[in-house]
């Protein structure tokens, strides 16, 4: 699978950023580019689906 990227929003600071998607399905841990805190973004079929925590 080629590495793709997607846009998602940090639930802690609200900033929107582009991050690499490294899985097809599940929860991917991402470090926010703005506040540097970790959050989990849900991935389904190789795309962020908008559920972040």
> So where are the chain's domains?
4-52
The pTM for the full model equals 0.84
Task: Write the DSSP symbol of residue 28.
Answer: E
Predicted confidence band of residue 2 (pLDDT cuts 50, 70, 90): low
Which tens digit of pLDDT belongs to each residue from 15-38? 999 999 999 999 999 999 999 999
Predicted confidence band of residue 3 (pLDDT cuts 50, 70, 90): confident
Q: How far is CA 43 from CA 28, 30, 35, in A?
A: 7, 12, 22
């Amino acid at each position: 699978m080629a590495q793709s990227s997607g846009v998602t929003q940090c639930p802690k600071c609200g900033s929107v950023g582009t991050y690499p998607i490294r899985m097809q399905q599940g929860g991917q841990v991402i470090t926010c580019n703005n506040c540097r805190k970790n959050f989990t973004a849900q991935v389904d079929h190789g795309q962020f689906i908008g559920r972040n925590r």
